Chains A and B, each alone.
Chain A
Amino acid sequence: EIVLTQSPGTLSLSPGERATLSCRADESVSSTSLAWYQQKPGQAPRLLIYDASTRATGIPDRFSGSGSGTDFTLTISRLEPEDFAVYFCQQYGSSVFGGGTKVEIK
């Protein structure tokens, strides 16, 4: 089973800053099966990115995804107050989730 490792565990940033989140797989995965979700406290996850780089419906363009093989990245170009949350990656071929990265206000 594929293992997804997200780093860092916590990212402390200020509004307006750029956030770069990493998701690393222990074996090569198809870029057409890598997704990113956002989860706020007490809420269900929200799909942000699928196929590694395609934004889901209604997702602002400050969110972007990239990567291939074993290394994938979610970038938030300028953090808005509502972006402080936990982010999970998922390899949806086998439906494995990463452990999450918390983006907190510095």
Chain B
Amino acid sequence: QITLKESGPTLVKPTQTLTLTCTFSGFSLSTNGVGVGWIRQPPGKALEWLALIYWDDDERYSPSLRSRLTITKDTSRNQVVLTMTNMDPVDTATYYCAHRPPYSNGRLFDTWGQGALVTVSS
């Protein structure tokens, strides 16, 4: 059974850097084709894909947020970390990490974490 769980601060100040950790189980990020992505959802709004890291260390980012994002993985600890710099109140959202299955031909996510609400406020 695949599970993922996000952890990190619930409140950050404007201009600060956000660091979120996704801890997962039930799969290995060294398996061919597997990936872990990050998606966010502002309150009451639609989903927005942020970043994805693949089993082979390939990293993909949303074009509009690329300059602010970094995604890394620690395969031995079953963790993926997302950092987002220069946080702004408009970045207030629930941040999800999710599993990209090996059968996918793109950024499909078949299992999601419960999400972590991050509020940006001074």
* Set B46, B63, B107, B114: member contacting A92, Cβ < 8 A: B107
Whether the Cβ atoms of B104 and A44 lie closer than 8 Å is: no
User: Is B55's beta carbon under 8 Å from chain A?
Assistant: no
Residue among A37, A43, A56, A92 with max Cβ neighbours from chain B (10 Å) = A92
- CB contacts (< 8 Å) of A33 on chain B: these are 105-106, 108
Whether the Cβ atoms of B105 and A88 lie closer than 8 Å is: no
Whether the Cβ atoms of B46 and A97 lie closer than 8 Å is: yes
Q: How far is the CB of A38 from chain B (nearest CB, A)?
A: 11
* Set B47, B106, B110, B115: member contacting A97, Cβ < 8 A: B47
Instruction: Pick the interface stretch among A10-18, A20-28, A45-53, A74-82.
Output: A45-53
Whether the Cβ atoms of B108 and A44 lie closer than 8 Å is: no
Query: A46 vs B113: C-alpha distance in the bound complex, in angstroms?
Result: 10
Whether the Cβ atoms of B113 and A44 lie closer than 8 Å is: yes
User: Is A61's beta carbon under 8 Å from chain B?
Assistant: no
Q: How large is the interface on B (under 10, 10 to 19, 20 to 34, 35 or more residues)?
A: 20 to 34
Q: How large is the interface on A (under 10, 10 to 19, 20 to 34, 35 or more residues)?
A: 20 to 34
- Mark out the residues of chain B between 70 and 113 whose CB falls within 8 Å of any chain A CB in the assembled complex: 96, 98, 104-113
Known interface pairs A1-B63, A50-B104, A92-B104. Does A45 touch B110 (Cβ–Cβ under 8 Å)?
no
Whether the Cβ atoms of A50 and B108 lie closer than 8 Å is: yes
* Set B47, B48, B105: member contacting A45, Cβ < 8 A: B47
- CB contacts (< 8 Å) of A45 on chain B: these are 47, 96, 109, 112
* Set B46, B48, B49, B112: member contacting A46, Cβ < 8 A: B112
Whether the Cβ atoms of B108 and A47 lie closer than 8 Å is: yes
Query: A92 vs B47: C-alpha distance in the bound complex, in angstroms?
Result: 12
Whether the Cβ atoms of A88 and B46 lie closer than 8 Å is: yes
